[in-house]
Chains A and B, each alone.
Chain A
């Protein structure tokens, strides 16, 4: 089993999930509560990675990250490095690729919070930001957990975007799925089978966990 690749994938997935939670919660809040008419455009943009072939997303990202693009140039100026074929570039790609997996369940959870509870909080003299923290987030914990778990799992298993943006550098961009592909190409079926089984088990556990959370088999807070 390619432990190096597994460790890399886990690091990538954890970082992606953390960044997505920071970025995704405000966007989910906006999507759930904004009265703007053009909200659907943002919704479509956020959902785009769901339907776009990973190679297409990867291709555009590669162009956007290249040293001759504004983003690539800026990054080179700030860090001296390059985004393509680096862990940072992979992280950026993963964040974009997994965006809907965080935002959609979280936005659905936010929208499901009884609006009267928010109004009650406002009328008690509590600001919108504090209401978000004290009422919306605690009542949306199952949705937030679902979003985090799905993003983690989705990043763990991604292949196309990684191949386009990251390539196959051991310890830098060779993730689990790339490692499996590599093993098969090298006719090393034993290694491929071990890593695949590992990924299968992880994916199943994660999905089982997600559905359990959604159905509230156990409550997030204890029932009196």
Chain B
């Protein structure tokens, strides 16, 4: 239980926005934690509070049983006593120092030289930061932070300064480097692909609050509330009522304009009004209206729009309620989907996730 980061603190920012973070990270199970949320949700502020760069108004931050901040006891360790390495969005390399001097800034020459080798930076040792690429700058920043032997590594949108093609390559690389560094890390991101690729553990922040924490897959599979579902990218969040139970499955009545539709899902013990969350990737479209399959949910619908998005196409359907499907551009072409056509949407019962619908009065 000692190997934990526990943060319960709040800070009021200007414009009346308040960050109120309640976060507990089991550092051993979670070498890399992703702090995920839309822009402006307070992720960076939380990260800066952890680093000691911002002082919370109240609360406490305890890292491995050592208080970093305690509002009641007036403890506020300065950044250099926390030994929390911080990676800035634009890396903040010292422009007047060479790559080697940057890495050796808070470390011995020997440690720095080893890290330069490990990170494949030996050849750039004498270059100035402005002369190297974004990806290289990121490696220098990471090497510089690791050279200081931090207890915790905080990364603020580490991939956002890179161009799109470098970014997807670097995701895998970054996770490998973080694991090799052996320092527990917290990575801020608003990109769900980044979250999946980088993290073991995930904390979702919406409107200044931590709404859900847990293993990454778990959070994606089972968002705790509609706002979490929306921010982790579950496109279909449908207001529904539980209509009954049938052969071990739950039958939902989805509220819609014309009577809605019934869908089945795995019984997770919910009762009352719920939100059914279905990721667009989990909705398949077929023209065969009567094919029998293991899929329980076959919904008759009409194509409202087909929006190409690069390699995929986003298909908006009207099944009595709006449903979004994400199919590959290729299959969209094969199906020759056109507006107004009747198709079937197939959703596996296991792909429907329920979120208890506790905080909105009526149906959405």
| Residue ranges of A at the interface with B (Cβ–Cβ < 8 Å) | 114, 116-117, 119-127, 134-135, 138-139, 221, 223-224
B residues near A134, Cβ cutoff 8 Å: 105
Q: Which A residue sits closest to B126, measured CB to CB?
A: A224
Please state if A124 and B90 are interface contacts (CB–CB under 8 Å): no
Please state if B86 and A119 are interface contacts (CB–CB under 8 Å): yes
Count contacts on B: residues with CB < 8 A to the other chain. 27
Please state if B88 and A121 are interface contacts (CB–CB under 8 Å): no
Given contacts A224-B127, A224-B131, contact A122 B79 (CB under 8 A): yes
Alpha-carbon gap, A215 to B52, bound state (A): 36
Given contacts A119-B79, A124-B144, contact A135 B94 (CB under 8 A): yes
A residues near B144, Cβ cutoff 8 Å: 124
Alpha-carbon gap, A126 to B96, bound state (A): 17
CB distance from B119 to the nearest CB of A (A): 16
Please state if B94 and A126 are interface contacts (CB–CB under 8 Å): no
Please state if A125 and B128 are interface contacts (CB–CB under 8 Å): no
Alpha-carbon gap, A117 to B148, bound state (A): 16
Q: Which A residue sits closest to B95, measured CB to CB?
A: A139
What are 29 pairs between A and B in contact, CB < 8 Å? A114-B92, A116-B90, A116-B92, A117-B94, A117-B95, A119-B51, A119-B53, A119-B79, A119-B86, A119-B92, A120-B92, A120-B94, A121-B94, A121-B105, A122-B53, A122-B78, A123-B53, A123-B84, A123-B85, A124-B80, A124-B144, A124-B148, A125-B148, A127-B80, A135-B94, A138-B96, A139-B96, A221-B96, A223-B130
| Residue ranges of B at the interface with A (Cβ–Cβ < 8 Å) | 51-53, 78-80, 83-86, 88, 90, 92, 94-96, 98, 105-106, 126-128, 130-131, 144-145, 148
B residues near A223, Cβ cutoff 8 Å: 128, 130
Known: A117-B92, A224-B131. 7 other contacts (CB 8 A): A117-B94, A119-B88, A123-B80, A123-B84, A123-B86, A123-B145, A126-B105
Q: Which A residue sits closest to B80, measured CB to CB?
A: A125
Alpha-carbon gap, A116 to B105, bound state (A): 15
B residues near A221, Cβ cutoff 8 Å: 96
Residue among A116, A125, A221 facing the most chain B CB atoms (10 A cut-off):
A125
B residues near A138, Cβ cutoff 8 Å: 96
CB distance from B83 to the nearest CB of A (A): 6
A residues near B79, Cβ cutoff 8 Å: 119, 122-123
A residues near B88, Cβ cutoff 8 Å: 116, 119-120
A residues near B95, Cβ cutoff 8 Å: 117, 139
CB distance from B324 to the nearest CB of A (A): 39
Please state if A124 and B105 are interface contacts (CB–CB under 8 Å): yes
Please state if B128 and A224 are interface contacts (CB–CB under 8 Å): yes
CB distance from A16 to the nearest CB of B (A): 29
CB distance from B364 to the nearest CB of A (A): 41
Please state if A126 and B106 are interface contacts (CB–CB under 8 Å): yes
Given contacts A119-B53, A223-B128, contact A125 B83 (CB under 8 A): yes
The 6 closest A-B pairs by CB, nearest first: A124-B106, A123-B86, A116-B92, A122-B79, A120-B92, A224-B128
A residues near B98, Cβ cutoff 8 Å: 224
Q: Which A residue sits closest to B79, measured CB to CB?
A: A122
A residues near B148, Cβ cutoff 8 Å: 124-125
Alpha-carbon gap, A127 to B106, bound state (A): 11
Q: Which B residue sits closest to A119, measured CB to CB?
A: B53
Q: Which B residue sits closest to A138, measured CB to CB?
A: B96
Given contacts A116-B88, A224-B131, contact A123 B51 (CB under 8 A): yes
Q: Which B residue sits closest to A114, measured CB to CB?
A: B92
B residues near A116, Cβ cutoff 8 Å: 88, 90, 92
Alpha-carbon gap, A114 to B129, bound state (A): 15
CB distance from A110 to the nearest CB of B (A): 15
Alpha-carbon gap, A140 to B231, bound state (A): 43
Alpha-carbon gap, A11 to B107, bound state (A): 43
Q: Which B residue sits closest to A125, measured CB to CB?
A: B80
CB distance from B195 to the nearest CB of A (A): 24
Alpha-carbon gap, A122 to B86, bound state (A): 10
